[in-house]
């Protein structure tokens, strides 16, 4: 082939190659991965970041969803499961986990029930009792999170996840949920643990 013909072919190919780069934004950042919002995208994220098998990833996501389904309102669970493609298939792969009640957990009285009590108490006593109820609710929430992590650790142990990997699992899953389902779904997951 002559030098002129080679130059002509090269000149014709360069604009075509430049057009193939059009998936990048004007700032030069790559376009979002369309495959991220799929079950395969989630499994790839978990297996590559955590070094676990696809079966372990599937069972671990199912364990998180199983725990979430038992602890969240239907509306919150719907938002969380909506951010996890194929949520029902993950649930089916989860090992059975029992969510134990927090030891010595006592449901604190609500501020309304305190206010509805006898009026003989002074305002400062009622305010102190309301503060106490709020502190009790915070303690109950913390105990619930601790129990949730305990049940999840048990499930992760059943599927063979080492403790150091199990500690990283929820943050990696939360990051994924935030990318796919947005910050509200990620905050729901964070609130469980």
pLDDT in tens, 111-135: 444 444 444 444 444 444 445 444 4
pLDDT per position as a tens digit, 83-95: 999 999 999 999 8
Contacts of 132-136 with C-beta under 8 Å, sequence gap 24+, read: 132/108, 133/108, 133/109, 135/108, 136/106, 136/108, 136/109
Instruction: Report the alpha-carbon angle 71-76-80, nearest 5.
Output: 95
Closest C-alpha to 65, from 83, 50, 47, 49: 83
User: Within 10 A of 69 (CB to CB), how many other CB atoms are there?
Assistant: 15
- Note the pLDDT tens digit of each residue in 24-80: 333 443 344 557 789 999 999 999 999 999 999 999 999 999 999 999 999 999 999
């Amino acid at each position: 082939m002559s030098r002129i013909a080679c130059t002509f072919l090269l000149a014709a190919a360069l604009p075509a190659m430049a057009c193939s780069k059009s998936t990048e934004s004007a700032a030069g950042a790559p376009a979002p991965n369309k495959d991220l919002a799929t079950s395969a995208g989630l499994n790839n994220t978990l297996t590559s970041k955590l070094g676990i098998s696809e079966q372990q990833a599937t069972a671990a996501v199912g364990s998180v969803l199983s725990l979430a389904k038992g602890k969240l309102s239907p509306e919150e669970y719907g938002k969380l499961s909506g951010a996890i493609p194929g949520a029902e298939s993950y649930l089916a792969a989860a090992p059975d986990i029992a969510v134990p009640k927090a030891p010595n957990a006592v449901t604190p009285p609500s501020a309304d029930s305190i206010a509805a009590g006898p009026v003989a108490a002074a305002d400062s006593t009622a305010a102190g009792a309301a503060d106490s109820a709020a502190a009790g609710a915070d303690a109950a929430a913390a105990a619930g999170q601790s129990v949730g992590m305990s049940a999840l650790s048990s499930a992760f142990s059943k599927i063979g996840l080492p403790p150091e990997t199990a500690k990283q699992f929820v943050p990696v899953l939360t990051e994924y949920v935030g990318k796919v389902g947005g910050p509200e779904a990620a905050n729901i997951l964070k609130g469980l643990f």
